[in-house]
Chains A and B, each alone.
Chain A
Amino acid sequence: MNAVLSLVAVLALVGLAVLGVEAGGLYSLFGVIVPYIAIVLFLGGLIFRVLGWAKSPVPFRIPTTCGQQKSLPWIKSSKYDNPHTGFGVLVRMALEILFFRSLFRNTKTQIAEGDKVTYGPTKWLWMGAIAFHYSFLVIFIRHLRFFTEPIPFFVDLLQTVDGFMQVGVPVFYMTSLIFFGALGYLLLRRLAIPQVRYISLVNDYFPLFLLLGIATTGILLRHFVKTDVVGIKELTLGLLSFQPAITEGIHWLFYVHLFLVCTLLAYFPFSKLMHLIGVFMSPTRNLANNSRMVRHINPWNAPVKVHTYEEYEDDFRDKMVAAGLPVDKQPEPKPAQAEKE
């Protein structure tokens, strides 16, 4: 049901763009206004969310630990799985962000030989995630050819590597295929595994269908519809230099592609896709586990007015001595005065 709802939502977005452009002729709405709104929502929403996170206090070290903590010098500690230094945290974060280490550690619980519970490694989700994220990154950077003039060298280099197989003209990029395959796997996984389907919500399916829509329209535009890419670049450069102008003769499918991307941008800050930033700000990842070495004082502890024993004794020392009670600090003798009296 959730999956169907998400699919219907994406199809409705496609229909909206087709109708708006083909029947309504609303080129400046879909070509100029919507992209501007989307990018403002994306950047504004993202900053808003990050500032919100930054306002939540993290008074104590709460790292998830996956190895021996640093304690006595002769006990070997896990430097990166249970880091106690800033450098260790840096390595841990790099492994997490670049290689999805915590997902790599994923295990699967199974019942073997009738009644034995076993835990085995399962790397499929990790593989799908790596394939998806890296091909998405390559596709994202590749698209800079439509957004920069002149085109930076690394975009050309990436395109050459990505199109290394030289299949068809224009060359079919490897990442197009990998992106599509990985997305398909991530979607099928949600649909096919009963436990995962049970916990899958509309906002899990929606980005998947949205990205599938973006990938489909993108591949269609490159290999089958072949709209005017020079015109498209004129449009994007106009948007970037804040002198928007609609170029005539761009195929309606391009506006569908653009509208789906705009939806993704606008939706991004308010969805689970914020893990793009969240991964950097996870206290369970980015804090060093140095609770044994550094005293962390709760920054919002209310100031408590205390009255120590020493102060108490100062107040009542004479009376205590007079009553014969032991005192830590002996009363100062007052020899001069005593002699006079």
Chain B
Amino acid sequence: MHDAGKVIIGLAIFVLLITFPIWFTLASGKAGHRPELELPKNETQCVESKEYMKAWHMDLLNDWRDAAVRDGKRMYVAEDGKKYVMSLSLTCLKCHTNKAKFCDECHNYVGVVPYCWDCHVDPKGD
């Protein structure tokens, strides 16, 4: 092999970079970490179904923001006919009282930084 030293160093750097997720996660020791949500104690039903909320809550919140702030509409009729006030602070955060133990769990896990809290005060629980 010609220029063996350079080629092997180059290959080693490449393999090290490509396997970054493996050794980084191994070093942090958090490979088994899973988000654990603290669910509201006084309520079992969210505005919409759990599956819908899991996938689409960001769109729902975005629609609520547009409807409330831009169109002045504040009443939301859910799929099951129940009516809710379109408000993050008054409706969502009434049950989900702790951002760190609910929102942040999944958001931090998958690296999502929503800009809700640019304006809203984040609830820190009781």
Contact = CB atoms under 8 A, between A and B. Distances in A.
- On whether the two chains bind one another, the answer is yes
Contacts of A56: 2
Interface in B1-55: 1-4, 7, 10-11, 14-15, 18, 20-22, 24-26, 28, 30-35, 54-55
A147 B34 CA distance: 13
Interface stretch (A186-194, A212-220, A226-234, A317-325): A226-234
Interface residues of A, number: 41
B6 to A, nearest CB: 9
A58 B2 CA distance: 8
Given A54-B1, A230-B109, A280-B10, A149 B56 contact: no
B1 A156 contact: no
Interface stretch (B70-78, B79-87, B94-102, B111-119): B111-119
Contact of B55 (A152, A160, A228): A228
B106 interface: yes
Given A58-B2, A277-B14, A146 B110 contact: yes
A335 B6 CA distance: 63
A137 interface: no
Interface string A218-248: 0000000011111001100100110100000
B59 interface: yes
A151 interface: yes
A265 to B, nearest CB: 10
B34 A234 contact: yes
A200 B68 CA distance: 54
Contact of B54 (A50, A228, A233): A228
Interface of B is mostly: helix
A237 B111 contact: no
Interface string A15-51: 0000000000000000000000000000100110011
A168 B65 CA distance: 12
B115 A166 contact: yes
Interface string A113-136: 000000000000000000000000
Contacts of B2: 54-58
A107 interface: no
B89 interface: no
B18 A43 contact: yes
B49 to A, nearest CB: 14
A149 B109 contact: yes
Contacts of A102: none
B3 to A, nearest CB: 7
B21 A240 contact: yes
Contacts of A280: 10
A149 B21 CA distance: 8
A115 to B, nearest CB: 49
Contacts of A228: 54-55
Contacts of B25: 147-149, 237, 240-241
A329 B21 CA distance: 74
B3 A152 contact: no
Contacts of B92: none
Interface of A: 43, 46-47, 50-51, 54-58, 144-152, 155-156, 159-160, 166, 168-170, 226-230, 233-234, 237, 240-241, 243, 277, 280-281
27 contacts: A43-B15, A51-B7, A54-B1, A55-B1, A56-B2, A144-B20, A144-B21, A145-B110, A149-B28, A149-B109, A150-B108, A152-B24, A156-B113, A169-B61, A170-B112, A226-B56, A228-B54, A228-B55, A229-B110, A230-B106, A230-B110, A234-B34, A240-B21, A240-B22, A241-B32, A277-B14, A280-B10
